Structure 1
């Protein structure tokens, strides 16, 4: 009788767990429900995925007085994990399985909030929505002499502008982030600059909203015994670094947004105040409906708004917005186009492309600025006119 009651209790507990889990999946409160270790049910809207454990890291976590580094390395046909205590001055290694690259870097001494406005450099390479595509990212940087074959900065006092969404969908997100982190430090030593502008997917990951995170990262997290939700919190190096970034930047008289700023965005906020508020929301807990309507990170925010890319606004709306911020052009990503192109009589440049599809064909494209002129550049550095 006692065994029967125990079995009934276990069956009831399993049914309750599955029932509540199904409800949480349906409401997108969680993105996956674990049934057995290493096996789970994903939310129905989550991308189809067969990725699994692979090299990753380092993930750097500050644990009181300790600095811990978590990493997965390849070894023969298997992988080994590492969890070690490091010092701030240690040289760290990042391995990229897809391209077989290895690069080294050190943690920064300090992390400072980025300025909102910058002087115009002689040259800029501008790209968005890389989404963990290290292979494609490397090819466009290498072909345009932003980096050398050892992944070192070679762009002098010029600027690399990254307009959001380096997270999700791809399989080399950590590696892309550490390369940017490394290049940022190297560029500054040469008088150059790497701009990393936050997109909606950066904010989602920083807030623990993991709808588009590939299985690789969940399985890597299980392997490392470090929940993925903890990889970008404010006690991690990459989490702290990303919390210094902006949602909009003005370089010369050009505005850079991940998605774009709508015509009726409240005029009382300066560009700096927009950035301050975007950063503030990262560690603010929202009810789902309130987050959706938030003017800084919600559906109509500069991180998500598609009205400009879809040409829902008219020419006067765009020109009024540009005048308000004393700008001549706006450069946006977020919404995919067939090619980099002008919108609104050359007042807007849309730069988001199917980078993964292109790079699989050996092609990559980005926006190039030189001599006060914008062009399209490819993975070989060949420049063509922007239409």
Structure 2
């Protein structure tokens, strides 16, 4: 039998084996089997008995796991233990740290495990996801370039292995042939040291629209999501965003990431008042939060009671403003930010808000009541070991 005949008879499991090999080499994770095809891209979810929100992670895998363990969503082996809980991560996995890919793979593993156990994991776009898709690496660390350089090395090896037996072909729908990975990407970059050039090339190749990592992971991100009475968005929503259509926004951004749409409106994802850059509701100074505007925006979304946002580091930890209508959850936990202690927001039965904090960051054990200076409704704080 000729080698060509042998290749024709190779089962698809060879391709799956190669993908598993590459995944484990890059992230140290064996991803569980893919769940059944997901429902249509979903912007609105019913209330969850237990809803956990986690802020910006910025490339710090260890602190990300601490936050999820604090919430009881993962066990000592880093597997999903949250049962039917819903987790929303509000974006900014990228930049300031060097474990961005590892976090993407880890959250993908949890998505599959959670689905199998009746739970749900929702990942979102922050301004740093959009920046990286745009090829803006202003906040990227050298370790982040190294991680993508390593990914590109193994990814190319994997695709070369597939082409030996015609498992992957140039211009196929879901795969990138080896000679396509760097198509159109320059070999050098003005002002960039030669030692970093390959890292930049790999990062662009992976994250540009239609890039392998962009399609595989970032195309699943939402830019806005409503779970029961909670609206989640990285920076904030304005009435004009709601008028445009929340589902349309998610579809537009996804289609742009997939390479199906040439561009996405700057007012949605790039301007200072876009959904991922807005700071009208997250600036720590009380007087800078426009409660009237926030209440107006929420009133335009049926059933919305609160907006949960990240993007701006809160030096006093997770807090609420405007009668708990605005909840700010970015605590700067990454070592690349302020190395803050992990905190997570817990919402039970769509109304009971609690902040979960580690014992290390508290002067006393047990629980304490947190009453914001703005006379907001108290949010219970549970302090854990």
Which TM class, normalised by the smaller chain length? 0.5 to 0.7
Q: Secondary structure at the match of 1:321?
A: helix
Distance 1:188 1:164, change over 3 A: same
Cα-to-partner distance string for 1:114-172 (whole Å, 9 max, x where unaligned): 30011111112211111011111111212332111111101001111100101100111
- Determine the structure 2 residue equivalent to 1:163: 90
For these two proteins, the number of residue pairs brought into alignment is: 295
Counterpart-to-counterpart distance in 2, 1:87 and 1:235: 21
Counterpart-to-counterpart distance in 2, 1:134 and 1:267: 33
2:300 equivalent to 1:320: no
Give 1:375 deviation, angstroms.
Answer: 1.1
Higher relative strand content: 1
Instruction: Using structure 2 for the length normalisation, give the TM-score.
Output: 0.68
Decide whether the 8 Å contact of 1:277 with 1:296 is kept in 2.
no
- Determine the structure 1 residue equivalent to 2:344: 366
Give 1:334 deviation, angstroms.
Answer: 0.3
2:322 equivalent to 1:344: yes
Cα-to-partner distance string for 1:256-302 (whole Å, 9 max, x where unaligned): 01010124x2553221112122334444666xxx97x5334432111
Decide whether the 8 Å contact of 1:299 with 1:305 is kept in 2.
yes
2:218 equivalent to 1:249: no
Cα-to-partner distance string for 1:192-227 (whole Å, 9 max, x where unaligned): 000101111111112222111111233455563662
Decide whether the 8 Å contact of 1:164 with 1:198 is kept in 2.
yes
- Determine the structure 1 residue equivalent to 2:66: 139
Counterpart-to-counterpart distance in 1, 2:141 and 2:128: 13
- Determine the structure 2 residue equivalent to 1:104: 30
**Higher RCO, 1 vs 2 (CA within 8 Å, ≥6 residues apart):** 2
2:193 equivalent to 1:217: no
Higher relative helix content: 2
Cα-to-partner distance string for 1:338-375 (whole Å, 9 max, x where unaligned): 11111112111011112135999783211122243111
Distance 1:165 1:245, change over 3 A: same
Counterpart-to-counterpart distance in 1, 2:41 and 2:203: 26
Distance 1:153 1:384, change over 3 A: farther
Decide whether the 8 Å contact of 2:59 with 2:334 is kept in 1.
no
Counterpart-to-counterpart distance in 2, 1:322 and 1:297: 22
Counterpart-to-counterpart distance in 2, 1:124 and 1:202: 23
- Determine the structure 2 residue equivalent to 1:93: 24
Decide whether the 8 Å contact of 1:254 with 1:331 is kept in 2.
yes
Distance 1:296 1:144, change over 3 A: closer
2:202 equivalent to 1:227: yes
- Determine the structure 2 residue equivalent to 1:276: 251
Please point out which of 320, 339, 355 is paired with 1:376.
355
Decide whether the 8 Å contact of 1:368 with 1:374 is kept in 2.
yes
Decide whether the 8 Å contact of 1:121 with 1:158 is kept in 2.
yes
Cα-to-partner distance string for 1:297-317 (whole Å, 9 max, x where unaligned): 432111111112236453322
CA RMSD of aligned residues (A): 3.2
Counterpart-to-counterpart distance in 2, 1:194 and 1:221: 24
- Determine the structure 1 residue equivalent to 2:310: 333
Instruction: Using structure 1 for the length normalisation, give the TM-score.
Output: 0.67
Distance 1:266 1:252, change over 3 A: closer
Counterpart-to-counterpart distance in 2, 1:384 and 1:189: 35
Please point out which of 268, 274, 281 is paired with 1:308.
281
Counterpart-to-counterpart distance in 2, 1:157 and 1:361: 30
Counterpart-to-counterpart distance in 2, 1:179 and 1:193: 14
Q: Secondary structure at the match of 1:187?
A: helix
Give 1:321 deviation, angstroms.
Answer: 0.8
